[in-house]
Amino acid sequence: MQKTFLVAQTSRVSCTSDPDEALTSIAVRGQWDAELRTETARALRACVTETPRAVLADLSDLGDPAGNSAQTWQTAARFASESRIPTRILVCAAPPRVRRRLTAESARYPVAVADSIGAARVLLGPFQGWNHRRFALRLPPEPASVVAARALAGAACVEYHLAHLIHPARLIISELAANAVEHAETDFAVQVSVRGPLLHLAVRDQDPQQPHLIEAGPGPASTALLARGCGLRVVTEAATAWGALPCPDGKTVWATLAIGGRPLP
């Protein structure tokens, strides 16, 4: 499975994450065709893989009189279900044919529908947090903050009884925090939580610029991983999946680690 799920914004598909509510919105615009299906599927897979509690799909500007996009939303719901990811798919302001297909009794993976994004938020209700305590810190763009972020990740793993994930969690959060300090140069928030079968690690800063994975040059792999600007390659090697999502005030760079079936307290 491809490990990198960077969400690429296009003129017809855009994504926005709300980390405080653990929601991601995806807006799809234009006439539904093969190209738009590919763009939407790529972005939607990225959004679901980040494991928010819900993905809200805004189809108010989508042209799909035949309802062909329904299969894409059902596929996303199936992916979440089969992966045991605790993410709901809610389709908002869908064209009539899409709505009928999504709500048909014959649908194997039914998808909830709502008249608008606002109505979908009401349907979801207030966010009560995940089943396990979340660890969070707000930090300034200083080198010492990387140490604090790393300590937070280690403490979370201990609290969650996930000692086998301490090393990769600390490694990943160090790289993400270091990038926020060096490149974003803004205050940033670090959060560690358990989402279904995954340990979720995230760093949110106030710079909208998305990260870029630098391809490894010639030479030994160990040398490439240590090269300046290649920290995200370390994340790619260590994480189960990772990516970035735009936020209203910047971006969130996230990574997940599979818990591996070990019981949680």
Domain limits, the chain: 13-124, 135-258
**Per-residue pLDDT at 218:** 54
- Cα separation values, 133 from 85, 159, 203, 254, 262, Å: 18, 9, 17, 18, 17
Q: Which amino acid would we find at residue 54?
A: A
- Give counts: helices (H), strands (E), the chain: 8, 12
pTM of the model: 0.88
Residue 263 CA to residue 131 CA, distance in Å, equals 13
1 CB-near residues (< 8 Å, 6+ apart): 241
| Regions of the chain with pLDDT less than 50 | 1, 221-228, 263-265
The CATH code of the domain at 135-258 is: 3.30.565.10
First-to-last CA distance in the chain?
A: 29
**Check: CATH 1.10.10.350 for 13-124?**
no
Find the angle CA(44)-CA(46)-CA(50) to the nearest 5 degrees.
115
DSSP β-ladder status, 62-63 and 30-31: parallel
Q: Which residue has the tokens 């596929």?
A: 75
